[in-house]
Amino acid sequence: MSVVQRLIASMAPRAWARSMEQESRAWKVRCGQCSFERSVWEWGGIRWKAAGKPRRRLTCPQCGKTGWHTVHRP
């Protein structure tokens, strides 16, 4: 877990922490260059009780390129 994930999970009730992790694992981040997907949780983030399809500028571990990644829930 990332520092942010550990901090928030330690302050939240256990049921909330489990819910945060479960929902963050359901949200995916897709590379716009090579279509590589990884869960938000694996990236070290938290996406809980959220909506929409935001975009983040990240470096893809698959192709190594920095570009726009779409956050979506399949």
Specify the pairing of strand 37-39 against strand 55-59.
unpaired
Residue 46 near residue 5, CB atoms below 8 Å? yes
Q: What is the pLDDT of residues 15-48, one digit of tens each?
A: 999 999 999 999 999 999 999 999 999 999 999 9
Please give the span between the terminal C-alpha atoms of the chain, in angstroms, as a whole number.
23
Q: What is the pLDDT of residues 2-18, one digit of tens each?
A: 899 999 989 999 999 99
Q: What DSSP state is assigned to residue 60?
A: -
Backbone Cα Rg of the chain: 13
| Residue 58: pLDDT band with limits 50, 70, 90 | very high
